[in-house]
Chain A
Amino acid sequence: MSVRRLAPPELQPASFAFNAESEARVAKEIVKYPPGRQASAVISLLWIGQEQEGWVSHPMIEVVGKRLDMAFIRVLEVATFYTMFNLVPVGKFHLQVCTTPPCTLRNSDAVMEACKKHIGPSQMTPSADGMLSWTEVECLGACTNAPVFQVGRDFYEDLDAETTVKLIEAFRRGEKPKPGSQIGRVSSEAVTGPNTLTDPAIYSKKPETA
C-alpha cells in the first residue's frame, strides 16, 4: 500500500451524477440510517458510484458529500482509507490479483506475469483499448482455490498462466467468462476429487428422529 491521493486533475471528469439505477440503490441505502445519521451511508454511496463509473473521482466525492451533508474532507478520508475504492480510472474489467502467501505458493506470480504481458506493465493502468487493467491486492479469502483474482463481484479461481491469458482474451472481447474454478471444481473440495463424505446415501437419507 502506498499514499493514496486523488487522480491528477487532467484525469478528472467535469462532473458526476448517479444514474437512475444507482439513484434507486442510493435511496435504499440512505433510509437505512436515522435522520441526521445519513453520513453512515458514505461507504455504500461511494461503492455505488464506483460500480457505476469504475472509480471514485473528485466530482463524485463532492456529490456524495452534498448528498449526505458531510464536509468533503470527511468523504475524502473514507475514500482514501479503503483500498477497495479506485482513485484512478481503471479498465472496464479490473483484475484484482491476490498475491498473499497462499496464492504466491500456488504461483500467483505466473498470473501476475500474464497480466503484465497481456494487459500492461504497470498496475492500475487501463490497457490501450480501455477494456482491462490489473492490480495486486491483499488476501481475497479464497485460499483453498488459490491463485485467484477478482473482477467486479466475481472470483476466478484455480488459475495458472494459461487460463489467465484465456480469461484476459475473453474480457478483451467484452465477454463475461464463467466465474469460479477454472479447473472444474465446484467449490473448495480437494483437487483430486472428494475423498470424505462421498457416500451419496448420506445426502438422500432423512435424518432419524431421535
Chain B
Amino acid sequence: MPTRKLIIDGQEIEADDNLTLLQACESTGAEIPRFCYHERLSVAGNCRMCLVEWVGAPKPQASCALQVRDIFPNKDGTPAKINTNSPIARKAREGVMEFLLINHPLDCPICDQGGECDLQDQAMGYGRAAFNRFHEQKRAVEEKYMGPLVKTVMTRCIQCTRCIRFATEVAGVPDLGATGRGEDMEITTYLEKAFASELSGNIVDLCPVGALTSKPYTFTARPWELRHTDSVDVMDAQGCAIRIDSRGPQVMRVLPRLNEDVNEEWIGDKTRHACDGLLRQRLDRPYIRKSGKLQPATWSEAFAAIAAKLATTVPEKMAAIVGDLAAAEEIKALKDLMAALGVKNIDCRQDGAKLGGARQSYLFNTTIAGVEAADAILIVGANPRWEAPVLNARIRKAWLASGVKIAGIGVTMDQTYPVTDLGAGTDMLEQIAAGTHAFAQILRDAKRPMLILGTSAISRADGAAILKLAAKIAADTGMIGPAGSAAEGGWNGFNVLHTAASRVAALDLGFVPGEAGRDVAAIVDGAQKGEIEFIYSLGADEFDVGHLGRAFVVYQGSHGDAGAHNADVILPGAAYTEKEGLYVNFEGRVQPAHRAVFPPGEAKEDWTILRALSDVLGKRLPYDTLDALRAALVADAPHFADHHELVPHGGASATDWAAVGAAGPLDTSRPLGSTMTDFYLTNPIARASATMAECSREFVAGSAKMAAE
C-alpha cells in the first residue's frame, strides 16, 4: 500500500495514500472539526469547517476532500507540512463558523438538539466569542413535512447535506434533495412527501444541528437529564446495539450504538420509535379470569390458581409456548420447569417454521459483516427491507461496492437494490436445486454465494421440503466452504433470516417439542379438541391465540395484547428495557440486554416469576440468582458464555446438510413470499406504540391505498 510522509503539527507520520487528509490528521491525535463529513457517507466538502493549513499552499485546504496521495512534498524534497492549529487554520475556521452562524437562529434554549449539538459545541471550541459583524435580517426557511418521525426546523439547517447523502446512499430511498441554490437552498423531500424509509430516524442522528429532530421526542427531555444504558434491540432478530435513554421510570428514547459487526451505527425506525409502546397497554399486576372477566389479583392468588389447575392436569395435556421477545434466561427457566413437570408439548416457533436440529441449519451463517464479501445472493421468501432493515442496508452496501448479483424468489417489495425477480413459485426453487436454472450456474460460479431463506418460506405446510431444497442448493452450489468465520477465510452461505428476537436462543436451548410432543399448530389443534387443557404462554401473541378452546391459558408477558386478552391468568413480566437478559441474534451472537428502568407496578423480571412459580408447584428450579441461572445456561449451551462473539462455523462437514429439512410434496399453488404485512406492528410493544400506529397509517396503509387506486 503506497504511503507518503507528512509532517502534521510537527509530528512526522507515514500516511496511507488512500486516506483523506482529515483521517491522516486524526491518526496523529489532532482534532478536526467538521459538519458535512461523515465516515459512512460520500465526501461532500461543502461545510469548510475542516480547513487546515498546508504550508506553502495559497489557501487553507478542506482536509476531508483532500486525499493524502494528492499532497506533494516540498520543492526541496522534505515532507509537506500540515498545521491543524496554526493561526492560519484557526482564522479560517473562525471565518467559516462566522458564516455558518450568520443565518443560524439563536434559539438554542428551545431547540431539542441543545446540549448535544455539533454546531453548539464547535462554536464554543472553534468560533470567536461574542463576536458579530452581521446586523442584517437572518434568513428564515419554511418547515418541510418529512413524515411522522422527523420534525424539521429548517431555519436551523446549515446545508451539510448529510441527510440527503444518507437517504440516497445508505437508505437507498432518494426522496431527499436540495432545491434552489445559494442562500435559497432548501433541504426537502420530493413534493414534501414523508421520507419513506425504514431507516429514516437515522437522519436525525446525522443532522449536526437541530434542523432535523425526532418528532415523537419533541420537547420531552434534555440530554443531560437522561441516564444512558447500553443494551440490545429486540424489535427484529438482528440484535442491533442500542443505547436506552431513560429519565426516572420512563424510557425517553432509543439511539443506536456503534457495532461494526451488527448494525454499524444505524437502527431501524421500529427500534428507535416503538419505545412509547413501553408505557401503554402494560400489564402491571396479576389478573385471574373469574366468571368470564379478568379480575386484578395478587401474585399468590395467581400462583394458587395455576397450581390448582396443574394439580388436576396430566403432563400430556399441558403445553408451553415461547413468544418472540423472550430472553434466554426465562426460556431456560420455562424449559426446566416444563421438564420438571414432564411436559413435552413445548415450542418456540409461533409461526410454525420447520427449524431446529443442527445449529448451522437455523443461523444466518454468513454473518452480517460477511454479507459485504458475497458475490451472489439468492433471497427466498423473505423481505429483508422489513424483516431486518439494517441488514438490508448492509446488502445494499455490498451491492453498491461490488455490484453483487442478487436474485429473489417471492421478493415483491423494492429492496433498495436491484433484485432479479425469479417469480414466486416453488417450482423455481426446485429448478435451482436441480441446477437447471441459469441462476444456479451463477451461484456455482460465484466464489462466495449466499442464500437468504425467509422464515415465511419455511413456516408453510411444505416448509420442511422447502428447507431441504434450500439446504440442497447450499450444499450443491458450494455455499458452505472451509471452516472458520468469513474473516478467517471460511465461508458459509446458508442463511435463515429470523424475525423474532427470541428464536435463536430458544432453538439453541432446544425449546422444541420433545419426543411425541406437539408443536404450536398441534397445541392449538389439541386445545380445540380438548386434548390440551393447560397452556403456558411466555409472551406469545403471534399465533392463533383466539382459538384455544377451553384450555386454561397462563400468559406471562409485558403487554395486554392478543395473548393476554385470551388468558385465564396473567402474570405481569418485564419488557426488554426492564430486565437483564441474553438475546441471541440471527447470526448466533449472544448479546446482553441491560435494565434501564424498573418494570411497572407489580411486574417482575420474567425468570424470577418462573422461579417463584416453580416453588409454589413444588418443583423448585435450582437457581436463585441471575448468575446461577446463566451458569446453568452455559452448562446447556456453552456459547452463552461468550457475549458478542460468534462461534466459528465448522465447515461443510460439521453439519449433515442432507439431514436438514424433510423431503415432501411442494405446495405449488401457493407462491413464496414474506408474510409480514406491516413492518411497524410486528410485536406487542410496537402494537402498543402510538408512533408506530401513525407510521403504519402513513407508510403501509397509505401505500396500500395508493396501490389499490
Contacts and interface: CB of A to CB of B under 8 A. Distances in A.
Interface in A1-24: 1-6
Nearest to A70: B174
B177 A81 contact: no
Interface string B189-220: 11100000000000000000000000000000
Interface in B100-158: none
Contacts of B180: 3-4, 80-81
Interface size range on B against A = 10 to 19
A58 B191 CA distance: 10
A81 B184 CA distance: 10
A7 to B, nearest CB: 12
A71 B179 contact: no
B641 interface: no
Contact of A81 (B181, B189, B190): B181
A73 B188 CA distance: 9
A73 B186 contact: no
Interface string B72-92: 000000000000000000000
B416 to A, nearest CB: 12
B178 A74 contact: no
Contacts of B2: none
B485 to A, nearest CB: 36
Contacts of A81: 179-181
Given A77-B177, A77-B178, A71 B184 contact: no
Nearest to B177: A73
Contact of B190 (A3, A5, A71): A71
Contacts of A3: 180, 184, 186
Interface string A67-96: 000011110110011000000000000000
B184 A73 contact: no
A76 B181 CA distance: 12
B176 interface: yes
A148 B150 CA distance: 48
B182 interface: yes
Contact of A1 (B177, B182, B189): B182
B184 A76 contact: no
Contacts of A77: 177-179
A71 B186 contact: no
Contacts, number: 39
Contact of A4 (B184, B190, B191): B184
A32 B186 CA distance: 31
B177 A2 contact: no
Most chain A CB within 10 A, of B168, B189, B190, is at B190
A5 B175 CA distance: 16
A2 B140 CA distance: 12
A131 B449 CA distance: 64
A2 B184 contact: yes
Nearest to A4: B180
A71 B168 CA distance: 10
Contacts of B188: 73
B183 to A, nearest CB: 8
A58 B192 CA distance: 13
Contact of B174 (A1, A2, A5, A74): A74
Nearest to A3: B184
Nearest to A1: B184
A37 B190 CA distance: 22
A68 to B, nearest CB: 13
Contacts of A2: 184
A73 B175 contact: yes
Contacts of B189: 73
A208 B178 CA distance: 59
Contacts of A80: 179-181
Nearest to B182: A1
Most chain B CB within 10 A, of A6, A73, A76, is at A73
A2 B178 CA distance: 15
A85 to B, nearest CB: 12
Interface in A35-78: 58, 71-74, 76-77
A58 B189 CA distance: 14
A73 B178 CA distance: 8
B217 to A, nearest CB: 26
A71 B181 contact: no
A74 B184 contact: no
Interface string A185-204: 00000000000000000000
Contacts of B191: 6, 58
A72 B184 contact: no
A82 B84 CA distance: 37
A71 B175 contact: yes
A73 B175 CA distance: 6
For the complex of A and B, the 10 pairs showing the least CB-CB separation, nearest first, are A73-B177, A71-B174, A80-B179, A73-B190, A77-B177, A3-B184, A81-B181, A80-B180, A72-B190, A4-B180
8 contacts: A3-B186, A4-B184, A71-B168, A72-B190, A73-B174, A74-B177, A76-B179, A80-B180
Given A76-B190, A77-B179, 17 more contacts: A3-B184, A4-B180, A4-B184, A6-B191, A58-B191, A71-B168, A71-B174, A71-B175, A71-B177, A72-B190, A73-B175, A73-B176, A73-B190, A76-B179, A80-B180, A80-B181, A81-B180
